[in-house]
């Protein structure tokens, strides 16, 4: 099988640095119970943060990685809670699969609605994504706002919304750990989480980049 060409660093020097970094992570991480494909995700998260605690803090539902790969291969949209995720994702890698990343937290109508009902922008942004039909079959990517994740869970429960995958990694002290614990109880929608307070947009971007790489590998095997 030929090596990935779309989801690698663009220069040979960059590729070598990344591969050397992955090798160091593999050497220093110690034991883990992840499958090979799950490890590709966790390793890239460790690589992005230099934090080996994500070996253990990161959890997957049974079909999460496969669901993410299939969603990418099908060109599913990504709905992020914050602009930082959209900026961090590689546009050429997304474009290769026909995937578009969306965020609505700074939209004027979202801000106005949040002020009117005394809600958060993150909640209103996810409601907008739902109205636009982006959540059903899409990849939900939450790295900052627990209220965004809680709203997606409400939409699933009350409106039957069914994303292809939820990457739920909000960081913080208010409802971050709790929202991820609720997601981990969800049946019927695949998920990837980081337990506890740790999380962030950097981790979400790393996880999705790993899924993009796995999708290219799957694509080549067809």
Is residue 131 classed exposed, middle or buried when 0-12, 13-18 and 19+ CB atoms within 10 A define those classes? Answer: exposed
Q: Which token pair is 35?
A: 């499958």
CA-CA distances (angstroms) from residue 86 to 62, 94, 95? 26, 10, 13
What residues are labeled active site? 47
Instruction: Report how far residue 2's alpha carbon sits from residue 221's, in angstroms, rounded to the nearest whole number.
Output: 9
Q: What is the DSSP string of 4-41?
A: PSSSS-SSHHHHHHHHHHHHHHHHHS------HHHHHH
Q: Which token pair is 167?
A: 């990457």
Backbone phi and psi for residue 107, each to the nearest 5 degrees, phi listed first? -70, 140
């Amino acid at each position: 099988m030929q090596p990935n060409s779309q989801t690698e660093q663009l220069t040979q020097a960059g590729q070598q640095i990344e591969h050397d970094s992955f090798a160091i992570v593999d050497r220093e991480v110690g034991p883990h119970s992840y499958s090979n494909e799950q490890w590709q995700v966790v390793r890239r998260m460790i690589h992005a943060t230099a934090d080996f605690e994500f070996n253990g803090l990161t959890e997957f539902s049974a079909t999460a990685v496969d669901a993410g790969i299939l969603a990418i291969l099908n060109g599913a949209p990504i709905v992020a809670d914050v602009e930082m995720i959209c900026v961090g994702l590689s546009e050429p890698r997304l474009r290769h699969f026909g995937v578009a990343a969306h965020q609505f937290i700074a939209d004027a109508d979202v801000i106005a609605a949040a002020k009117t009902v005394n809600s958060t922008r993150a909640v209103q942004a996810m409601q907008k994504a739902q109205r636009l039909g982006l959540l059903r079959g899409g990849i939900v990517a939450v790295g900052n706002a627990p209220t965004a994740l809680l709203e997606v869970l409400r939409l699933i429960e009350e409106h039957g919304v069914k994303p292809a995958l939820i990457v739920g990694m909000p960081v913080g002290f208010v409802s971050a750990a709790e929202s991820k614990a609720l997601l981990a109880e969800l049946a019927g929608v695949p998920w990837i989480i980081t337990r506890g307070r740790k999380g962030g947009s950097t981790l979400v971007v790393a996880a999705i980049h790993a899924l993009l790489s796995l999708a290219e590998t799957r694509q080549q095997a067809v």
